């Protein structure tokens, strides 16, 4: 089955532990040979193709659709509109669960944003469905679109992000500002960004009676299964969701959205399997995005450059009908030890699709503004930006007073600066040029991201041949879960990784939790490890109670497991292989189970974050304002690193997102029509290879015994948080011009 990865022998020398080894991806061969099956690669017999027709207006009603014309087209099987759409068991406009966003599944003719689904055409071929959708030629009753901060409706959200309070205060802000020698007041704007994973949202839905099989990339497989089942009024067990590989998720594939529901609906209505793949432009509407922000900061500083007050206000854009409020100001809660911290969020409603979590939601946008503001503060105080951070970074979490695990952040500053060669950087801007006359600038930024854990379960089965099967419904978005999680599982079992078969990516398996919040390795990894130790405990129980075993009488705590054998702790010459123990007990298999989740006492007592520092060099053409990033060095402390190759790759990815945020990504909506004007990868810029400089990601050692028994934090999102500010600050250092909006444009740097 496609969700079982064959396990070729890894060509690495290992000494006992799989964790810590820089293994290459176990699924790499499948991917480079095209054998990895992505959702859209599935073609069940009799499959039809669905194409969604989307609105070209941002607000109003669909007045007419030429359904007859579409149906008359050869190959078109049916057209689904609000007029004939079968009922769902739940209202798409209801709010269902923590990640339950309102979505459009043809519940009525209303249009709430451009690119909203307004009909589905199902046909024998993709071409016929595409042509059928074109023939619908919708007409609309158009209402004026409200686009942009100045045209939207003000809104005060009760919570931001996923359930975080909109306001936060610690200490006396007025007193802190009053005590300041230097006062910095500044503003930054960040744009709408769309996830744009390389693999668009895709689904193949196949009903068999009241049982549903869906192939669709998903970051939270069991949660999604429950959601789909609820909308179709069937038990969750009746849904098989397969998601062995994702071509990127970035938060968008953690959210249940309209197009998937419409595909499943079409399959049920027509009694045949149906495939729906969103074309790139339809990724700019119904499947979430990062909401635009406007942020205002006030920093009070004493004569030595120490913060006396930190105020962060964020206005976030959301849709007219639902909300996800980018929690940008929360980025100021945990990093710098200001005696007074105050954050506020408000929102503006516009005629756009509802935003959602995207690549470090809140931390990315908020740290971009905060890190630039810290540089402005350093300038005002006449001190080096790195020194500014060293004077202000928090040794305990300023928001809660809880201890951080270690002084890891300081190490990141020191090691990153050393590697970059930061010493000797001139304080004033426009001091450095390269041989060709380009302005050179150096900037840095602090990186911070929470180290959350969610809930996950796993199963481990020892087999009589000395191999093991480990299972959890984990999701691999490309980050390397197939490999890193198998490494952890192998250590839990005391087996060489080549003996471990790992199954993931399917709802038949124990709940692997969410691949999000940079917490998947910690959470699913903990579940896998404890499933391994559970089954080894059972095996030891058998051995130590068996008079024929060399381990007889050792007691459970008296044995240890490695290399597929149990050893007597006091006498290593007494040992026995797993297979021998199972064979004598007459067992073909032995099963153990495990759970991953945070220890509540530790969660209460400690503040848990990954830390880092990023240093950037840019070169700017003094006449044209063209910016190139020429060097990026990040240093990150993220607990125990399971696989340095994959962890570095994750950090590079995050840093590239940061570069993208600083210089490239922006979705622009036409003020008159509300349509996204650059809904493709030609107009929505993301960096290509030529934009990416020499990069380094240093892994700073950190032993954190509190985050979880394995000491694992996350590396998925933190890279973006330091990099945006580092690049913006380097551009200021090169040019002397401070850009106050992202992405930074040539016209922001030239008069
Ligand atoms: Mo993410 S935005 O934690 O998938």
What separation in angstroms does the CA of 545 have from each of 136, 261, 643? 74, 54, 37
| Rounded mean pLDDT for each run of 10 residues along the chain, 751 residues in total | 44 62 94 96 98 98 98 98 97 83 97 98 98 98 97 94 95 98 98 96 98 98 96 98 97 95 98 98 97 98 98 98 97 97 98 97 98 98 98 94 85 97 97 98 98 97 98 96 97 96 98 97 98 97 96 90 95 96 98 96 93 98 96 97 96 98 98 96 96 95 92 97 98 98 94 64
Q: How far apart are CA 189 and CA 24, in angstroms?
A: 40
Whether residue 172 has a cis bond before it, omega within 30° of 0? no
What spacing in Å lies between the alpha carbon of 359 and ligand 1's midpoint? 5
| 356 CA to centre of ligand 1 in angstroms | 9
Between the CA of 150 and the centroid of ligand 1 the distance, in Å, is 29
Exposure on the CB side of residue 215, measured as CA atoms within 13 A: 20
Stated length of the chain: 751
Closest to 502 (Cα-Cα) out of 1, 57, 7: 7
Residues tagged active-site: 717
Q: Establish whether residue 249 lines the binding site of ligand 1, counting it when its CB lies within 6 angstroms of any ligand atom.
A: yes
* Any atom of ligand 1 within 6 Å of the Cβ of 362: no
**At which residue do the structure tokens 């790139």 appear?**
280
* Any atom of ligand 1 within 6 Å of the Cβ of 359: yes
Which among 201, 252, 359, 453 is the best mutation to test ligand 1's pocket, defined by most ligand atoms within 8 Å of the CB? 359
CB atoms within 10 A of CB 187: 13
Give yes or no for residue 356 CB within 6 A of ligand 1. Answer: no
Nearest-angstrom CA–CA distance, 378 and 392 = 11
C-beta of 251 in contact with ligand 1 (< 6 A): yes
Which pairs from 666-669 meet CB under 8 Å and 24+ separation? 666/191, 666/192, 666/193, 666/742, 666/743, 667/191, 667/192, 667/193, 667/194, 667/284, 667/289, 668/191, 669/58, 669/114, 669/147, 669/148, 669/192, 669/352
- Supply the angle between the helices 644-663 and 718-735 in degrees, to the nearest 10: 50
- CA 355–ligand 1 middle distance (angstroms): 13
Report how far ligand 1's centroid is from the alpha carbon of 615 (Å).
24
In 3-state terms the chain splits into helix, strand, coil percentages (rounded to 5) of: 30, 25, 45
Do the Cβ atoms of 159 and 95 come closer than 8 Å? no
- Exposure letters 574-608 (e unless 16+ CB within 10 A, then b): bbbebbbbbeeeebeebebebbbbbeeeebeebbb
Q: Which atom of ligand 1 is nearest to the CA of 358?
A: 2
- Ligand 1 touching residue 517 (CB < 6 A): yes
Ligand 1 lined by 361 (C-beta under 6 Å): yes
Could you tell me if the CB of 355 is within 6 A of ligand 1?
Answer: no
Euclidean distance between CA atoms 32 and 488, whole angstroms: 24
Q: What tokens appear for 672 in the block?
A: 């008159």
60-64 vs 110-111, strand pairing mode: antiparallel
Nearest residue to 107 via CA among 88, 141, 80, 82: 82
Which ligand 1 atom is the nearest neighbour of the CA of 252?
A: 4
- pLDDT score, position 95: 85
Alpha carbon of 658 to ligand 1 centroid (Å): 15
pTM, two decimal places:
0.96
User: Tell me, what's the pLDDT at 98?
Assistant: 61
- The DSSP string of 262-321 is HHHHHHHHHTS-EEEE--GGGGSSTT--BPPEEEEEEEEE-TTS-EEEEEEEEEEEEESS
Atom of ligand 1 nearest to the CA of 250: 4
Label the pairing between strands 239-242 and 211-215: parallel
How remote is the CA of residue 269 from the centroid of ligand 1, in Å? 33
**358 CA distance to ligand 1 middle (Å):** 5
Q: Which of 707, 457, 455 is nearest to 592 (CA)?
A: 457
Model pLDDT, residue 406: 63
Please count the other Cβ atoms lying within 10 Å of the Cβ belonging to residue 174.
12
Using most ligand atoms within 8 A of CB, pick from 254, 328, 451 the residue to mutate for ligand 1.
Answer: 254
Query: Is 219 touching ligand 1 by the criterion CB < 6 Å?
Result: yes
CA angle, 103 then 105 then 106, to 5°: 125
| Contact in structure between 214 and 506 (CB atoms under 8 Å) | no
Is the Cβ atom of 220 under 6 angstroms away from ligand 1? no
User: Which residue owns the Cα nearest ligand 1 atom 4?
Assistant: 251
Q: Which two tokens stand for residue 535?
A: 């089954």
pLDDT of residue 8: 42
Position 402 scores a pLDDT of 93
Choose one of 195, 243, 250 to mutate for the ligand 1 pocket test, by most ligand atoms within 8 angstroms of C-beta. Answer: 250
Backbone angles phi, psi at 490, to 5 degrees: -60, -40
Looking at residue 409, its pLDDT comes to 93
The neighbour count for residue 465, using CB atoms within 10 Å, is 11
**Closest ligand 1 atom, CA of 359?**
2
Decide whether any atom of ligand 1 lies within 6 Å of the 357 Cβ: yes
User: Does residue 358's CB lie within 6 angstroms of at least one atom of ligand 1?
Assistant: yes
DSSP reduced 3-state for 435: coil
């Amino acid at each position: 089955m496609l969700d079982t990865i064959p396990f070729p022998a890894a060509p690495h020398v290992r000494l006992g532990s799989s964790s810590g080894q820089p293994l290459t991806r176990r699924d790499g061969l499948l991917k480079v040979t095209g054998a990895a099956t992505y959702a859209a690669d599935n073609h069940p017999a009799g499959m039809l193709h669905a194409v969604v027709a989307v609105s070209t207006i941002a607000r109003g009603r669909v007045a007419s659709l030429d359904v007859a014309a579409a149906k008359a087209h050869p190959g078109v099987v049916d057209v689904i509109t609000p007029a004939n759409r079968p009922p769902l068991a739940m209202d798409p406009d209801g709010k269902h669960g923590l990640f339950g966003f309102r979505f459009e599944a043809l519940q009525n003719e209303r249009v709430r944003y451009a690119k909203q689904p307004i009909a589905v055409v199902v046909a024998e071929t993709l071409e016929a469905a595409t042509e059928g959708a074109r023939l619908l030629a919708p007409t609309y009753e158009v209402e004026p679109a409200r686009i942009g901060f100045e045209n939207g409706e003000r809104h005060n959200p009760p919570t931001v992000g996923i359930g975080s309070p909109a306001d936060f205060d610690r200490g006396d802000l007025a007193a802190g500002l009053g005590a300041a020698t230097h006062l910095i007041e500044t503003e930054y704007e960040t744009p709408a960004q769309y996830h744009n994973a390389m693999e668009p949202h895709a689904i193949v839905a196949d009903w068999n009676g009241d049982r549903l099989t869906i192939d669709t990339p998903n970051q939270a497989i069991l949660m999604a299964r429950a959601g789909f089942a609820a909308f179709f009024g069937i038990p969750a067990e009746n849904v098989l969701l397969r998601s062995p590989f994702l071509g990127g998720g970035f938060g968008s594939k953690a959210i249940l959205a309209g197009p998937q529901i419409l595909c499943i609906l079409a399959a049920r209505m027509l009694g045949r399997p149906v495939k729906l793949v969103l074309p790139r432009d339809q990724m700019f509407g119904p499947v979430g995005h990062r909401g635009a922000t406007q942020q205002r900061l006030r920093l009070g500083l004493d004569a030595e450059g120490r913060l006396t007050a930190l105020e962060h206000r964020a206005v976030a854009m959301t849709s007219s009908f639902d909300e996800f409020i980018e929690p940008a100001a929360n980025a100021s809660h945990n990093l710098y030890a200001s005696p007074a911290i105050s954050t506020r969020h408000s929102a503006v409603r516009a005629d756009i699709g509802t935003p959602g979590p995207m690549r470090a939601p809140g931390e990315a946008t908020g740290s971009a503004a905060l890190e630039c503001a810290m540089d402005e503060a350093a300038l005002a105080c006449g001190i080096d930006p790195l020194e500014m951070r060293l004077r202000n970074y928090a040794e305990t979490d300023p928001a809660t007073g809880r201890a951080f695990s270690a002084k890891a952040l300081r190490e990141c500053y020191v090691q990153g600066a050393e590697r970059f060669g930061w010493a000797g950087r001139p304080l004033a801007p426009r001091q450095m040029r390269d041989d060709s006359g380009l302005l050179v600038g150096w900037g840095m930024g602090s990186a911070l991201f929470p180290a959350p854990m969610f809930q996950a379960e796993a199963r481990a089965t020892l087999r009589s041949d000395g191999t093991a099967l480990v299972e959890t419904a984990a999701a691999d978005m490309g980050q390397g879960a197939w490999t890193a999680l198998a490494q952890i599982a192998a250590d839990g079992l005391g087996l060489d990784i080549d003996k471990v078969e790992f199954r993931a990516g399917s709802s038949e398996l124990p709940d692997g939790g969410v691949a999000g919040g940079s917490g998947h390795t910690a959470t699913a990894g903990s579940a896998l490890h404890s499933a391994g130790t559970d089954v080894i405990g059972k095996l030891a129980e058998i051995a130590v109670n068996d008079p024929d075993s060399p381990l007889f009488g050792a007691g459970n705590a008296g044995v240890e497991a490695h290399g597929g054998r149990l050893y007597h702790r006091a006498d290593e010459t007494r040992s026995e292989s797993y297979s021998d123990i199972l064979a004598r007990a007459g067992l073909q298999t032995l099963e153990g189970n495990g759970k991953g989740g945070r220890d509540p006492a530790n969660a209460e007592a400690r503040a848990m974050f990954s830390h880092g520092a990023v240093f950037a060099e840019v070169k700017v053409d003094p006449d044209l304002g063209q910016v190139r990033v020429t060097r990026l060095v990040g240093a990150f402390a993220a607990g125990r690193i399971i696989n340095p190759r994959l962890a570095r790759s994750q950090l590079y990815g995050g840093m590239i997102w940061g570069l993208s945020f600083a210089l490239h990504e922006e979705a622009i909506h036409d003020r008159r029509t509300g349509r996204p004007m650059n809904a493709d990868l030609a107009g929505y810029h993301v960096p290509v290879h030529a934009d990416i400089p020499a990069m380094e990601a240093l892994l700073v050692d950190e032993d954190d015994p509190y985050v979880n028994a394995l000491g694992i934090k996350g590396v998925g999102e933190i890279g973006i948080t330091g990099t945006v500010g580092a690049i913006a600050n380097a551009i200021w250092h090169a040019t002397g011009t401070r850009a106050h909006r992202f992405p930074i444009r040539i016209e922001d740097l030239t008069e």
